[in-house]
Amino acid sequence: MFYRTTAEPLGDHALVIGAGMAGLLAARVLSGFFGRVTVVDRDRLPEGPEPRKGVPQGRHLHSLAVRGSELLEGFFPGLDRELAEAGCPAVDQAWDTITETPAGRLPRFRSGIVMRAVSRELLEWRVRRRLLGDPKVRFVSGHEATGFLYDKSTGQLTGMRTRVRGRPAPGEDQRRDFTADLVVDAGGQSSRTPRWLTELGLEAPRETVVDAGLGYATRWYRVPEGFAEDWKSLAVLPSWPEAPRGGSLRRVEGGLWTVVMIGIGEDDQPPNDAAAFPAFARSLPSPIIADAIEEAEPVSPAYGYRRTANRRRHYEKVTGLPNNLLVLGDAACVMNPSYGQGMTVAAVSASALDGCLRRQQRRRRGTAGLGRRFHRRQARAIAPSWTATVSSDAQWAAGSVEGLGLARRFLHRVSGEVMRLAAEDPEVARTLLEVKNLLEPPRALLRPRVLLPALRRTASRR
C-alpha cells in the first residue's frame, strides 16, 4: 500500500510534464513528499473519459497487466471496484480467453491471473479524477513545455518554461514560467529532454532502438445482442517468420469489443480502411476473430498505428545530469505497444520513484543525488520487460532464421518447444501468463520443469 508520509517534505513544489498515465502516477507519488504538485499538459484535458490528441494510441486496445493493476490499486485504493462498477469485465487470462499460438491453443483453466479489461480513456479519467480531489495537486492544461530553467552555478534546474497552445484566455500570457524544486518529465516518447539538455551544454542520453516493423489497426464493435459464448477475449499470435499476422479481441466497458489486427513487415501491415478490416482478420492463421466480428456491428473507423519501435534512453548512464530532473514512462523507455506493457511499466517506474523518495526522506537528503539514484533504480525495475520485448522484436527484425546467430537460432528452437509445452500443460501455460503479467521474471521459464522438457524436445527434433 502506498500512503502519504508525515515527515518533513523534500521540497515545496514538484512539477510534472505530461498528464498521461506515467505523469498521473508520478503526481500521486510526489504528493506524498512535496508541498504541492503541478501537472502541465499540452492538451486541453477533457471533462470526462474522452480520447485526446496527446495520447496517440488512445483509440486502441490497452492492456493493464496484473502487476500494473496491483500497483494502481495500491496508489488508488478502491480503483478496481470503481472500474468494475463502470462495467469493466474481469478477464481470467486462461479461463475467459481463447489463445491460438503457433503451437496450438492454450488450455483453458481457472488460473486466477485476472486482468480488468478497460479502455485507456476511462482508466486515465478515473485516475485523473482521483487526483483532482487532492488539494496538493493541480492541473495546468493547454500549456506546452519549451525548455528548462537552469542555474549553471549549482548545476540544478529551477523550473520549466511553457507556452500556451492556441489562443490564450483573456488576461493569460502566451508564455509562462514555473519554478520548482523538482522537475519530472513524463511527456511520452516525444520528450524533448535530450535536446534541452544539449542546449544547456549537458550530456544527452545514449539511445537503444529495436524496431520489428510492426503495425496495427484497431476497430471497435458492439457486442452482438444475445451473444452467449463463454469467452471474453480472443488472441491469435503471429508465428515468426512464416506467419507475420495476428490479432486480438477483448470485451471492455459499454458492451463493446476492441478488435486489433497486427502485421509485421511492409507486406503485412493491417489496413486503415474499414472495408478491408474483416478481410485482414480472415487472413489470420485462425478464423476465431473473423468469425466473431462477422455479424457484429462496427461503431468506429479503423485506426492505424505504426510507431512501434522500442526506444530506451539511458539516463542512468548520463554524467552531470541535474539531481532534480527525473525522466520516466515513455519519455525514458517506450516499448512496442503490441505487448501491452506500457501502463504497467509506468506503474513500476512510479513504484521505483516512491522507494527513492522514501530513502531521500529517511536520510534527510532533499533532492541531493536523487536523479542518479532514481534512474538507476528505474533501469533495474523495467529491465525484465525491456529484455523480453526487445528479444522478441530483434528476432522479428532479423527476418529469417538464417539471419540469426547460432545462439539465437538455438533459443528460437527452445522457445518454440516451450510454446508447445504450454499448449499441452496448464502449469507451463500458467508460467507463461505469470511472466506476461510481470508477476514472475522471464527467468521463470528457465525452471527445470519447463526448460528440461523443452531441451529434450529440441534435441530430439534435431
Q: Tens digits of per-residue pLDDT, 210-260? A: 999 999 999 999 999 999 999 999 999 998 888 899 999 999 999 999 999
CATH number at residue 22: 3.50.50.60
Residue 74 located in a structural domain: no
- Residue range 16-30: mean pLDDT, rounded: 96
User: In terms of domains, do 236 and 285 share one?
Assistant: yes
Spatial separation of the C-alpha atoms in residues 198 and 321, rounded to whole Å: 11
Residue 290 located in a structural domain: yes
pLDDT at 2 over 50: no
207-210 and 310-313 beta bridge pairing: antiparallel
Cell numbers describing residue 357: 523518495
Q: Which residues contact 448 (CB under 8 A, 6 or more apart)?
A: none
At 24, the pLDDT band (50, 70, 90 cuts) reads very high
Residue 455 located in a structural domain: yes
State the Cα torsion 308-309-310-316 to the nearest 10°: -120
Residue 89 located in a structural domain: no
User: In terms of domains, do 137 and 27 share one?
Assistant: yes
pLDDT at 22 over 50: yes
1 vs 33: which has the higher pLDDT? 33
CA distances from 113 to 11, 61, 314, 424, 436 (A): 40, 19, 32, 19, 10
User: In terms of domains, do 363 and 445 share one?
Assistant: no
Q: Which residues contact 123 (CB under 8 A, 6 or more apart)?
A: 21, 62, 64, 83, 343
160 and 145 Cβ atoms separated by less than 8 Å: yes
User: In terms of domains, do 252 and 323 share one?
Assistant: no
pLDDT at 404 over 50: yes
Spatial separation of the C-alpha atoms in residues 297 and 319, rounded to whole Å: 55
**Percent of the chain whose predicted confidence (pLDDT) is above 70:** 97
User: In terms of domains, do 148 and 235 share one?
Assistant: no
Residue 116 located in a structural domain: no
CATH number at residue 279: 3.30.70
What's the pLDDT at 4? 54
**Percent of the chain whose predicted confidence (pLDDT) is above 90:** 74
Total structural domains in the chain?
3
User: In terms of domains, do 183 and 38 share one?
Assistant: yes
Domain stops at, among 305, 325, 341: 305
What's the pLDDT at 400? 74
User: In terms of domains, do 169 and 271 share one?
Assistant: no
Domain stops at, among 389, 411, 430: 389
233-236 and 333-334 beta bridge pairing: unpaired
Residue 111 located in a structural domain: no
- Residue range 432-458: mean pLDDT, rounded: 91
At 21, the pLDDT band (50, 70, 90 cuts) reads very high
User: In terms of domains, do 246 and 298 share one?
Assistant: yes
55 vs 440: which has the higher pLDDT? 440
pLDDT digits over 122-165, tens only? Answer: 999 999 999 999 999 999 999 999 999 999 999 999 999 999 88
User: In terms of domains, do 269 and 328 share one?
Assistant: no
pLDDT at 343 over 60: yes
Exposed (0-12), middle (13-18) or buried (19+): which is 400, by Cβ within 10 Å? exposed
Domain, as residue range, for 244:
213-305
206 vs 403: which has the higher pLDDT? 206
What's the pLDDT at 28? 98
> Among 85-89, 316-320, 366-370, which stretch is predicted with the lowest mean pLDDT?
366-370
Spatial separation of the C-alpha atoms in residues 371 and 102, rounded to whole Å: 44
Domain stops at, among 305, 322, 347: 305
Residue 54 located in a structural domain: yes
User: In terms of domains, do 298 and 221 share one?
Assistant: yes
Spatial separation of the C-alpha atoms in residues 132 and 139, rounded to whole Å: 8
pLDDT at 419 over 60: yes
pLDDT at 390 over 50: yes
11-17 and 34-41 beta bridge pairing: parallel
- Residue range 62-83: mean pLDDT, rounded: 94
User: In terms of domains, do 198 and 140 share one?
Assistant: yes
What angle, 0 to 180 degrees and rounded to 10, lies between the N-to-C axes of helices 426-436 and 448-461?
110
pLDDT digits over 96-114, tens only? Answer: 999 999 999 999 999 999 9
What's the pLDDT at 145? 95
pLDDT at 202 over 70: yes
User: In terms of domains, do 44 and 154 share one?
Assistant: yes
- Mean residue pLDDT of the chain comes to 92
Spatial separation of the C-alpha atoms in residues 134 and 118, rounded to whole Å: 24
What's the pLDDT at 3? 45
Angle at 206 between CA 204 and CA 208, to 5 degrees: 145
Residue 418 located in a structural domain: yes
351 vs 404: which has the higher pLDDT? 351
